[in-house]
Structure 1
Amino acid sequence: MMHVLFLTCVAIIIAVVTWFEWPSLNDTAIKSVYLTIVIAVFILTFVITIWPDTPGPLQGVRMLFKPLTLPWMRR
């Protein structure tokens, strides 16, 4: 229940900030970038709230570059 309340509060805060920022965004490209960033942040907030044990970006980068490191570089 707390997850739903937290996500609802985050959604309301994002909506209020977007409501006040929207008139100052003049170009359509800037508006689309703004919405893309806001939606990505909300999706990340949702995923981290619902599944807190998911690996973060640092683990993904380590997994991606692990084959490129030399054996003496690994811990």
Structure 2
Amino acid sequence: MKWMAAVIGLTILVVLLTLYEWPKMDQHQKKEKTAFVTITAMGWLLAILLLFFPDLPGPTQMIDKLFKPLGRMLEKK
């Protein structure tokens, strides 16, 4: 039940953030609103994932795994 309270708390926080920021955006700013919704949803999803999987690797660890082989190849030449 502790995780449920955390999920509800995060959801309420995201809703409050959206209710605060949405009216400040101009009605004709479609791209900005789309970007706001996308980034907010991704942040909410990441927060929920970190609740259930706290040992989830961070973005820097993912970049290290992707670019370490490339770095080794460039060092050899």
| TM-score clears 0.5 | yes
Partner of 1:23 in structure 2?
A: 23
What amino acid sits opposite 1:14 in the alignment? V
The Cα of 1:37 is off from its aligned counterpart by 0.8
Partner SS for 2:54: coil
Aligned to 1:14: 14
Counterpart residue number, 2:47:
45
User: Structure 1 regions of 5+ residues with no counterpart?
Assistant: none
Task: Give, in angstroms, the shift of residue 69 of structure 1.
Answer: 2.8
Moved over 2 A (4+): none
Q: Alignment RMSD, CA only? A: 1.7
Q: What's the TM-score, normalizing by structure 2?
A: 0.82
Q: 2:56 is matched with which residue?
A: 54
Deviation of the 1:67 alpha carbon:
1.1
Question: 1:16-63: CA deviations, max 9, x gaps?
Answer: 111121111111111111101110000100111111111111211111
| 2:4 corresponds to | 4
Shift in Å at residue 68 of structure 1?
Answer: 2.2
